[in-house]
Every structure is written in structure tokens, then in C-alpha cells.
Structure 1
Amino acid sequence: MIVDVVTEDARWQDAGLDALAQTAAQACLAHLAISGAEVALLGCDDVRITELNADFRDKPTATNVLSWPAEDLAAEDAGDTPCAPTPDFDGSLELGDIAISYDTCAREAADAGKPMGDHVTHLIIHGVLHLLGYDHIRDQDATLMEVIEVQILGKMGIDDPYRV
């Protein structure tokens, strides 16, 4: 598993984004029995993620994480497992790109009273799952995605982020 991390906001370096990204993505892919995958991750701030959200989703607001899958793997029927990713002709398995905003992540972690590292780990897993075709628009898909997130986080010793 290779996560190519680019940080536009120096606070991500202090937060250990590179190590968090490697650990979270590896845990996610191991859980799904996927190996040899590559992901690009941009650690940015609310200004940059607002621009990206406006450009790609027509939503000019900050968000915690965005993802751009290399291929559409979404399941046709609600609640079904997405299609497996296929390697390129050279054997590489590029899943896509993720952007994560320090400002929104820090605010959400503080508001929820949870460690920043745990929240960021959850959001990176969430982003990787989006790259793999998981989504939360339809209720059945959201349930499937949340169950997988909770299972992965549990294996990592991180509490269920959906439990109130």
C-alpha cells in the first residue's frame, strides 16, 4: 500500500498525517483483502477544500474529506458490495485521490470530544472506501459503509464514531 501524501498546510505535519494515512489506508485495504494499491492524499485547509468542493461538487462550502475515485466501482443495487478494483495493464492499482481539511477535522474532533488522530483515521478510511465504490447516499449503502468503517476502526482500537 502506498499513500502519497502532499501537505499544503503545515499543521498536518505536526498532526502526523503521513503516518495516520499509511496506517488507516493499510487497515482499510487489509480488511477488504486488497493489496498493492496506491492513493494520493492532499492535506489542506478549509480555504482549499472549499475551492475543491465548489469546483468538483458545486458546493462552495468547507467539508472534512473529499475523494475522487480512479474508476466507478459503485454497486448497482443499494446495499450491495461495490465491484473490486482492477489493476492497470502494468499491474498498478491506483485507487484515486483524497483531500482532507485540517480546520474542519480539528473542529469536528473538538466538538465530538475525540482525539484528532482518531477522527482523521476515520475520515481517511471513509475516503478510501469512497475510492472503492462505497457511498452513503442510499440508506442501505450508508449502513454497509458505516458497518465496515466501525469494523476497521474497532480492529485499530478506535471507538465507533457513529455511537452517540
Structure 2
Amino acid sequence: MQHEAHASHAHHHETAATSSWAMAVRATLHCLTGCAIGEVLGMVIGTALGWGTVSTLILAIVLAFFFGYALTLRGVLKAGVGLRAALKVALAADTLSIAVMELVDNGVIVLWPGAMDAELTDPLFWWVLAIALAVAFVLTTPVNKWMIGRGKGHAVVHRHHG
């Protein structure tokens, strides 16, 4: 009986610790890294090729998801998880986080006057992209904290480490 109470108490501390703001920030920084790589690459390619707003945004979003999932896959595969299981972990861990980040990030870029018309040599292109990623980080962190606190998101990834 005493052991069960101790195990329950330990589980409570584990859940509280794993849903901390620090863990949410780390999960969001991880997401931001993949999103930023894909987002910047997509915006640079689309802008350099003279593509329109919609085509450029679609490329940036697809690449953000690709690189976001790829970073998680890399870590989970390194932990010895098979590819099929690792794909499920990456999808479970990152889909909502990347979706929120991309919605916010691209929303800022589209709504910022002149941002989608800025060329690669225009400081506006780079400033708005940096601001958009920063705003996306701030607004996605609480989403990740909420998911981790419920055993979802990056909490799924942490079950496969260690």
C-alpha cells in the first residue's frame, strides 16, 4: 500500500516536471528549428524563382513540416526505435506544434504590408521573417505546454529516450 502511494506521488512529480514551461520552451525551440529551416528555405526558393504568394507559402509550409518531422525522426531513430514507430512518434509529437507555428508565422508574413513583395536583398524580407518566427515561438509555447501536460506532443518523444 505504501509503495503504491509512493509510486502515485512520484508519477505526480514526473507529470508536473515534464509539463514545465522549460520543457515546453525546449519542445518549441526544437519545432522552431525545423520550421525555420523549412520556412526560410521555402521563402528563399519561392522568392528567388519569382513565384506568387500562394506557391511560395505552400512550399515554405511543406518544407517546414518536412524538416520539423525530420529532426524528430532523427532523434527517435537514434534511440533505436524502428522507422514505422518513429514516424508515428514524429507525427504525434509535432503535427499540432508545427501547424500552429506555421499558421502564426505565415499569418504574420501575409498580413505585414509589403512583406510578400519584398525581394531577398530587401531587409524587410528578413526582418519580417525573423519577427514572424519569434511571434510563432511565443504563441506555440503554451500549446506545447498544454500538450506535454496531457502526455502528448514532445512527451511522446521523451518516452523513447533514455
TM-score normalised to the size of structure 1?
0.29
Which structure has greater strand proportion?
Answer: 1
Task: Return the index of the structure with the highest Cα Rg.
Answer: 2
TM-score normalised to the size of structure 2?
0.29
RCO comparison, higher one (Cα < 8 Å, 6+)? 2
